[in-house]
Amino acid sequence: MAAVTIKDVKTILTQPAGSRLIIVKLITSEPGLYGVGCATFTQRFHAVHTAIEKHLKPFLIGRDVDRIEETWQMLMVNGYWRNGPVLNNAISGIDQALWDIKGKRANMPVYQLLGGKCREAAACYSHAGGDTIEAAIDSLRELMDQGYHYLRLGCGGYGGKPAQLYKPDGAPEGDYFDRKHYMRVQLKLFERTRAEVGDEIELCHDIHERLQPIEAVGFAKDMEQFKLFFLEDPLAPEDLEWFNNIRQQCATPIAMGELFNHPREWQPLIEGRLIDFIRMHVSQMGGITPARHVAAFANMYGIRTAWHGPGDTSPVGHAANLHLDLWAPNFGIQEWCRFPEHVYEIFPGLPVVRKGYMYPNDSPGLGIDVDEKLAAKYPCEDEIIKWTQCRLPDGTPVRP
C-alpha cells in the first residue's frame, strides 16, 4: 500500500480573543485527510510563521505522515541549532498535526494511541483575581459557584499593583511593580481567603518569576501555612539551583516549566525531585512527542503533569493537552483559560468544561478543527508588547 504523504503545509494566523494564535494545517496525499496543530508563540508569531513557511514546509513535502518520531527528530536537528522557542513552536504545530492525522487514520482519539484513558475527564483550574483583596475573593467565589474546585488566586496581576511607586525623575514607561508590596498583599489575600472559604478548596498561586531567588525561598516558606495545591514559577529558568533551597526550607508544592524549551532545564528538577508538577507549554517544548516522553519520565519520580493552558495556547493546543491529560497516569491538573463563545465557532470540537472538568468529544485524532473563513475575520495585529516591559520602582528592567 502506498504511503500517505504530506502534500502541503498551511499556516493559519488568527486573533479572536486577545492572543495571536498560530495553527498549522497539514494536507495529505489522501483526499480530505488533514491534521491541525498548535504552533502559538504569541509574542513572536511572525518568526514562527516564517520558520514554518520558509524552512519546515520545504523539508516536509512528500514525507510519510506515519513516521512521527522520525520526523520530529529530523526537524529538531535539520537546522543544526536546536531547542529554541521559535523552532520548538514551529515543530510543535507539525507534530500535533501528525498525531491528529494518525488518529484519524486509525479512527481513534489520540489518547487511545498514547495508551488509552486513565480517567474520563481532566480536572481543571481557572484564574481568580482582582485589583483588591475583596475583588479577588469575589472572583474566587464566582468560579466556585461554577463548580471549580481548583483555582489560581492572586491580587493585582503579576507582581501586584502598588498604590504608590516612588520612581526617580525621568523614569521610563513600563510595567512597574514592587516585590515587597507584592508579597505582603498576597499573604494577606491568602490569609483572608482561607478564613472565609475554608480549607476544602484547592488554591494555587503564580509568582511568575517576579522575585529574587532568596525572596522566593522566603515567600514559599511563608505560603506553606495556606496548604497550596501548588506555587507556580517561583524561580526563573536561570535560577534552577535555588530549587534546592526551597525544598530544604518548606513543603510547599512547586510547579514549574512554562518557559522551558530544552530538556536540560526540566531533567535535573525531575531527577532531583525538586518540583511536584511539570507545567511546560506543550508547543514551547515541541509538541505531543516530547511531552509524552517527559510525562513518562516524570512518572518514574512521582511528579505530576500540569500543562500550561492560558489564552495564548490555541484551542488546538488545549485539545492536545487534554489527550495527554486523559492518558498520563501521573496527571495532576490542567490550566484552563475559559474561551468566549465565538472561539468555539471558529474551532469546532474545542473541549468543553463542566463543573471544573474538561471532557473530550471522542472524535478521531485531536477531535478539533478550524474554520478558516471565520478565523480570517480576526486577523493578527502587530503591537509592541507592554506587559513584558517590567521594571522595579527605580526603573530597573527585570524579567516579566
Residues assigned a catalytic role: 158, 208
For 199-211, what is the HEC assignment? CCCEEEEECCCCC
Sheet holding 6-17, edge to edge: 6-17, 19-28, 34-38
As a whole number of angstroms, the distance between CA 361 and CA 359 comes to 7
Give the total residue count for the chain.
400
Query: Is 310 in contact with 347 (CB distance < 8 Å)?
Result: no
Residue 176, strand partner residues: 391
With cell 518540583, the residue in question is: 275
Vertex 35 angle, CA 31 and 40, to 5°: 145
| Start-to-end Cα distance in the chain | 52
Residues 6+ apart with CB under 8 A from 357: 121, 122, 123, 124
Sheet holding 175-176, edge to edge: 175-176, 390-391, 397-398
| Alpha-helical runs (H) found in 302-383 | 315-327, 341-346, 372-376
As a whole number of angstroms, the distance between CA 171 and CA 168 comes to 6
The DSSP letter of residue 232 is E
Which cell numbers in the block locate residue 210? 517576579
Distance (Å) of CA 84 to CA 43, 91, 368: 14, 10, 27
For 32-51, what is the HEC assignment? CCEEEEECCCHHHHHHHHHH
Going 274 to 279 to 281 to 282, the CA torsion angle's sign is positive
Instruction: For 129-192, give the DSSP string.
Output: EESSHHHHHHHHHHHHHTT-SEEEEEESSTT---S---PPTTPPPSEE--HHHHHHHHHHHHHH
